[in-house]
């Protein structure tokens, strides 16, 4: 007999036998105390909370969201496949109606992983949410409108990169201001590509933001935007490093704040991202989150060292948040009035040039991306990417690749052009590998 308001499927996979390195924050111990808390609270005995076993994501599933260089198995371990596979199961549970909501409480995280993957950055190699989203659109319908709300303290630059020009996706990232924290991006002027302008929303929060500020932004910005976007599915990339005890960030959010956030957001699927206060935060945040997701009383889920004074948000921080939220509200309302030519130019191709650093693996990538401006679809893209390890020391040998991407709902013309580009790049001999990714037709080719 179910006693919860919502039936919740839990994918708990702490990967007790995997670490990036023994002393790395992403190590065996990370979810140990979370397990202890969940087990001791008896949460898995609650009728209405059911635990499921993750599956192992396949190359095909991963290649819908990524171009891994040189290949999937070269850049990831089994642990990554299980984290992505667990996220996929979490989605299947909800979309087949087995549960109302699901929580993929697993590691390693993924939201810093871009479309092109040369290695690991920000503890992430492949993007769990993105792989899940592409699985969902493949299995349950390409017209599904999906909102991803990333509440990790770090900007979800990887997820933003993957869905930057995807009109089917709304991506909102709330994070500590990029001027004060890795990865140093996620400013309000990053608003998406020409085909999805305004659907990338970044909410940089000042250091010291607590429950009050985070929930203010959710109530006044995130919820109204969701209301308007009307997604078929809401995914919460739930990093837990906004917590006041997190060693890597400077935020003031509490377990109860996370639970309230979950209650307000009412996500269909929650996926754990970062969060490295493994004793002081994670056990309580995860317990609170699970309770809130199930619709149970979370008012007693509190950290042992919690005190009102410790987590109080300063008036200055409150003011700053109100200003940012005000600005973003305005930007959302006027997004369709923006002259895209002013932002992206009048040329048939919009080009962007980026340098991407992989801190975990010490790789520097240089990337040129070209988006075709198409009036019938979101336009095919080509990405030229060169990467080398240990560049700072001048040791690396650069690997150059080209990737041709065909978007969902591509028009015949774009598809044909992309195909021709793939062959041309292949013939040119300039690239170590050339990739063609046609996600809708599930075609993935590598030369």
Partner 1 sequence: MYIAGIDVGGTNTDAALIKDDVVVATGKVPTRHDDLVESTEAALETILAAYQGSAPLELHLSTTLSTNTIVEGRGDPTAVLAVPGPGMRIEELNLGFPVHILSGSVDHRGREVAGITAHEVQAALDAAQEAGMAALAIVGKFSHRNPTHELQIEALVKEATQKFRHITLGHRLSGRPNFPRRLATSYLNAGVAGQQALFVEMVKRLMIRGRNIGKVFLLKADGGTMTLDDSLARPVETILSGPAASLMGAQALTEHPEGNAVIVDIGGTTTDISVQVAGEPVFERQGAEIAGHKTLVPALFARSIGLGGDSEVRVISPKDGPSRLQIGPKRAGTPAALGGSKVTPTDAAVVLELARIGDVNRAREAIADLGAAMGLGIEAAAEAVIERFTQQLVQEIEDTYTYLESRPVYTISELLAPLDIRPRVLIGLGGPAEVFIPLAGKAMDLTWEVLPCYKEANAIGAAASRPTAAVTLHADTALGRVTVPEMDYMGEIRRAMLFDMKKARAEAMEWAARKGESLGITSLGDIAIMEEESFNMVRGFHTVGRIFMIRAQVRPEVRRITERGKGETLDADYQA
CB of 277 to partner 1, least distance (A): 11
Among the listed residues 7, 8, 9, 12, the single contact to partner 1 using CB under 8 A: 12
The residues near 249 (Cβ < 8 Å, ≥ 6 apart) are: 153, 154, 176, 181, 207, 241, 242
| Chain center to CA of 358 | 16
Q: Which of positions 82-101 make contact with partner 1 (CB under 8 A)?
A: 82
Among the listed residues 61, 63, 79, 159, the single contact to partner 1 using CB under 8 A: 79
The Cα–Cα gap between 74 and 82 comes to 16
Piece of 15-23, 231-239, 370-378, 433-441 that binds partner 1 (CB under 8 A):
15-23
Dihedral pair phi/psi, residue 161, rounded to 5°: -60, -45
Structure tokens at 353: 């040039």
- Cis? peptide before 18, omega within 30° of 0: no
Piece of 160-168, 178-186, 222-230, 300-308 that binds partner 1 (CB under 8 A):
300-308
For residue 105, state whether it binds partner 1 (rule: CB under 8 A): no
For residue 102, state whether it binds partner 1 (rule: CB under 8 A): no
Nearest to 104 by CA among 130, 81, 83: 83
Is 112 annotated in the active site?
Answer: yes
For residue 441, state whether it binds partner 1 (rule: CB under 8 A): no
For residue 228, state whether it binds partner 1 (rule: CB under 8 A): no
For residue 6, state whether it binds partner 1 (rule: CB under 8 A): no
Q: Are 154 and 239 within 8 A, CB to CB?
A: yes
For residue 308, state whether it binds partner 1 (rule: CB under 8 A): no
Nearer of residues 5 and 413 to partner 1, judged by Cβ: 5
Piece of 28-36, 64-72, 195-203, 428-436 that binds partner 1 (CB under 8 A):
28-36
Among the listed residues 6, 27, 312, 354, the single contact to partner 1 using CB under 8 A: 27
Identify the burial level of 24 via C-beta atoms within 10 angstroms of its C-beta, where 0-12 means exposed, 13-18 middle and 19 or more buried. middle
Q: Are 183 and 147 within 8 A, CB to CB?
A: no
Among the listed residues 60, 98, 228, 247, the single contact to partner 1 using CB under 8 A: 247
Among the listed residues 20, 32, 331, 340, the single contact to partner 1 using CB under 8 A: 32
For residue 39, state whether it binds partner 1 (rule: CB under 8 A): yes
The Cα–Cα gap between 339 and 34 comes to 48
For residue 53, state whether it binds partner 1 (rule: CB under 8 A): yes
Q: Which one is catalytic: 112, 118, 135, 175? A: 112
For residue 338, state whether it binds partner 1 (rule: CB under 8 A): no
Piece of 42-50, 199-207, 225-233, 425-433 that binds partner 1 (CB under 8 A):
42-50
Identify the burial level of 46 via C-beta atoms within 10 angstroms of its C-beta, where 0-12 means exposed, 13-18 middle and 19 or more buried. middle
Query: What is the size of the binding site for partner 1 (CB under 8 A)?
Result: 47
Cross-strand bridge partners of residue 159: none
Among the listed residues 212, 232, 263, 279, the single contact to partner 1 using CB under 8 A: 279
Structure tokens at 307: 């005190």
For residue 14, state whether it binds partner 1 (rule: CB under 8 A): yes
Instruction: Provide the edge-to-edge strand list for the sheet that holds 146-150.
Output: 49-52, 8-13, 101-106, 269-272, 233-238, 146-150, 169-176, 200-205
Nearer of residues 180 and 299 to partner 1, judged by Cβ: 299
CB of 213 to partner 1, least distance (A): 23
Q: What b/e readout covers 360-374, taking b as 16+ CB neighbours within 10 angstroms?
A: bbbbbbbbebbbbbb
Piece of 136-144, 202-210, 218-226, 296-304 that binds partner 1 (CB under 8 A):
296-304
The residues near 247 (Cβ < 8 Å, ≥ 6 apart) are: 25, 276, 277
For residue 301, state whether it binds partner 1 (rule: CB under 8 A): yes
Residue the block writes with tokens 């007999």: 1
CB of 33 to partner 1, least distance (A): 5
Catalog residues that contact partner 1 under the rule CB under 8 A.
3, 12-18, 22-23, 27-29, 32-33, 35-37, 39-43, 45-46, 51-54, 56, 78-79, 82, 247, 279, 283-284, 287, 291, 296-297, 299-304
Enumerate the active-site residues: 112
């Amino acid at each position: 007999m179910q006693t919860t308001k919502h039936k919740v499927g839990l994918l708990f996979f702490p990967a007790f036998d995997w670490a990036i390195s023994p002393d790395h924050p992403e190590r065996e111990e990370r979810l140990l105390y979370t397990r202890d808390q969940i087990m001791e609270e008896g949460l898995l005995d609650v009728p209405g909370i059911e635990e499921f076993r993750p599956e192992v994501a396949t190359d095909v599933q991963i290649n819908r969201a990524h171009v891994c260089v040189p290949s999937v198995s070269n850049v990831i371990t089994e642990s990554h496949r299980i984290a992505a596979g667990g996220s996929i199961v979490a989605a299947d549970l909800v979309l087949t109606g087995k549960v109302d909501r699901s929580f993929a409480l697993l590691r390693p995280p993924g939201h810093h992983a871009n479309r092109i993957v040369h290695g690991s950055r920000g503890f992430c190699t492949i993007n769990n949410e993105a792989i899940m989203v592409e699985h969902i659109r493949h299995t349950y319908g390409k017209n599904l409108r999906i909102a991803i709300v990333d509440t990790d303290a770090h900007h979800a630059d990887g997820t933003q990169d993957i869905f930057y020009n995807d009109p089917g996706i709304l991506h909102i990232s709330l994070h500590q201001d990029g001027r004060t924290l890795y990865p140093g991006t996620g400013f309000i002027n990053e608003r998406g590509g020409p085909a999805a302008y305004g659907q990338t929303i970044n909410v940089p929060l000042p250091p010291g933001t607590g429950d009050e500020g985070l929930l203010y932004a959710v109530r006044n910005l995130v919820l109204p935007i969701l209301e308007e976007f009307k997604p078929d599915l809401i995914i919460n990339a739930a990093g837990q490093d906004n917590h006041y005890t997190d060693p890597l960030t400077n935020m003031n959010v509490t377990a109860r704040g996370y639970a309230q956030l979950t209650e307000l957001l009412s996500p269909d699927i929650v996926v754990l991202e970062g969060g490295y206060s493994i004793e002081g935060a994670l056990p309580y945040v995860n317990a609170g989150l699970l309770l809130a997701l199930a619709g149970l009383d979370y008012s007693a889920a509190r950290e042992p060292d919690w005190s009102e004074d410790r987590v109080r948000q300063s008036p200055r921080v409150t003011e700053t948040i109100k200003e940012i939220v005000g600005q973003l509200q305005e930007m959302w309302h006027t997004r369709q009035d923006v002259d895209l030519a002013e932002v992206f130019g009048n040329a048939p191709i919009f080009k962007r040039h980026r340098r991407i650093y992989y801190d975990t693996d010490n790789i520097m990538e240089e990337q040129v991306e070209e988006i075709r401006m198409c009036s019938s679809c979101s336009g095919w893209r080509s990405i030229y990417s060169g990467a080398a390890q240990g560049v700072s020391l001048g040791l690396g040998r650069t690997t150059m690749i080209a990737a041709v991407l065909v978007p969902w709902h591509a028009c015949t013309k774009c598809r044909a052009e992309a195909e021709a580009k793939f062959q041309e790049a292949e013939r040119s001999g300039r690239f170590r590998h050339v990739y063609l990714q046609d996600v809708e037709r599930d075609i993935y080719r590598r030369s």
